[in-house]
Amino acid sequence: MPRFGLGVYKMTDHEETLQSIDTALKFGYRAIDTASLYGNEAEVGEAIRYSGIPREHIFVTTKVWNNDQGYDETLRAFEVSLKKLKMDYVDLYLTHWAVPETFEETYRAIERLYDEKLIRATGVSNHHEHHLEKILAKANIAPMVNQVEMHPYLQQQALSAYCHEHQIAVTAWSPLGRGGVLDDSTILEISKEIGKTTAQVVLRWHLQNDTLIIPKSVTPSRIEENAQIFDFELTQTQMEKIASLNRNQRFGQDPDHFKFDF
Ligand SMILES: NC(=O)c1ccc[n+]([C@@H]2O[C@H](COP(=O)([O-])OP(=O)(O)OC[C@H]3O[C@@H](n4cnc5c(N)ncnc54)[C@H](OP(=O)(O)O)[C@@H]3O)[C@@H](O)[C@H]2O)c1
């Protein structure tokens, strides 16, 4: 799985979505993170076909939304996603949030999709350690990915260590804190020190922590900027300075207090 991709949440305009994915693929992105909730699976499929890049060179993630969860419901929701994408498999399929009554059954359906080779990897999103424990107790195939909110103000070190211990890759959603960490004075200072933008500093910090990232942007210059993070390295001191910024601050919801009527 590529360590870096484009997130497409809130890309609702048809043309803008196609353009953004096209730009990202031109700048070397090879992973796209969508969800049935985002309403743009059709655009993701269309942009990938239009690019001419072979399907197997692009890693496509989508997710089952909360009110589609449960065993049979998830299998049906997956079919709908596949049709919208106009693809015959998806690279990674995730439970979007751990709906208390259904998340275990949902994951069981995801395992079946994996067995049937309709997905290349299994995973979950917004799962705390206690959710993962329940899944791991029953699963034949452990989740390969947990996608959670993560950025310098919400570092989730315990969850991340738990995932790594169980060989579950961690993907950071809102890796830039929806832009909310980019004016931080410590990050600005590091940015000036090394001549990189604050977004590049934050994204590089994630990579060096072994976290996968899916920054979202519809701005071509930012899509390019966010991809230029493989030609420099943060020092141990710079990594530690960013590690000290954690304040357990969420820009999204806490999975244990999710408003499921959303
Ligand atoms: N699993 C989940 O529950 C979940 C939840 C939320 C998100 N996600 C996934 O994670 C992806 C990323 O998260 P996100 O969209 O919430 O937040 P994000 O990637 O942290 O931040 C996106 C925001 O930052 C701006 N931005 C991007 N690059 C920038 C740069 N170089 N300089 C300054 N500003 C920049 C974007 O603006 P412009 O677009 O205007 O350029 C946008 O407003 C989503 O698209 C989605 O795929 C998953």
| pLDDT tens-digit map of 138-160 | 999 999 999 999 999 999 999 99
Alpha carbon of 97 to ligand 1 centroid (Å): 18
In the predicted structure, residue 121 carries a pLDDT above the cut 90: yes
> Among 60, 159, 216, 228, which is best to mutate for testing ligand 1, by the most ligand atoms less than 8 A from CB?
216
Both tokens assigned to 247:
């304040």
Q: Which three-class secondary structure state does DSSP give residue 121?
A: strand
CB 216 within 8 A of CB 20: no
In the predicted structure, residue 189 carries a pLDDT above the cut 80: yes
Give the residue carrying structure tokens 């329940």. Answer: 134
Alpha carbon of 153 to ligand 1 centroid (Å): 15
Name the residue at shortest CA distance from atom 39 of ligand 1. Answer: 217
pTM of this structure? 0.98
**What per-residue confidence (pLDDT) applies to 26?**
98
> Among 217, 225, 258, 260, which is best to mutate for testing ligand 1, by the most ligand atoms less than 8 A from CB?
217
d(CA 67, CA 127) in angstroms, rounded, equals 17
Both tokens assigned to 194:
């090394």
Q: What percent of the chain has pLDDT over 90?
A: 98
Strand order in the sheet with 169-173: 6-7, 31-33, 59-64, 90-95, 119-125, 145-149, 169-173, 212-213
Length reported for the chain: 262
| Phi, then psi, of 63 in degrees rounded to 5 | -140, 150
Alpha carbon of 47 to ligand 1 centroid (Å): 19
Name the residue at shortest CA distance from atom 35 of ligand 1. Answer: 179
Q: How does DSSP classify residue 57?
A: G
> Which residue type, as a one-letter code, is found at position 253?
Q
Give the CA count within 13 Å in the CB-facing half-sphere of 67: 5
Residue 93 annotated as catalytic: no
**What per-residue confidence (pLDDT) applies to 243?**
98
The pLDDT of 167-186, averaged and rounded, is 98
The pLDDT of 29-33, averaged and rounded, is 98
CB 168 within 8 A of CB 134: no
Both tokens assigned to 136:
């791991």
The pLDDT of 104-115, averaged and rounded, is 98
Nearest to 156 by CA among 26, 241, 64, 255: 255
Q: Is 210 left (phi over 0), alpha (psi -120 to 50) or beta?
A: left
> Among 10, 65, 173, which is best to mutate for testing ligand 1, by the most ligand atoms less than 8 A from CB?
173
In the predicted structure, residue 260 carries a pLDDT above the cut 80: no
Name the residue at shortest CA distance from atom 31 of ligand 1. Answer: 222
The pLDDT of 230-256, averaged and rounded, is 97
- Tell me which residues have their CB closer than 6 angstroms to ligand 1: 7-9, 33, 96, 125-126, 147, 173-179, 182, 199, 214-219, 222, 225-226, 252
Average pLDDT across the chain, whole number: 97
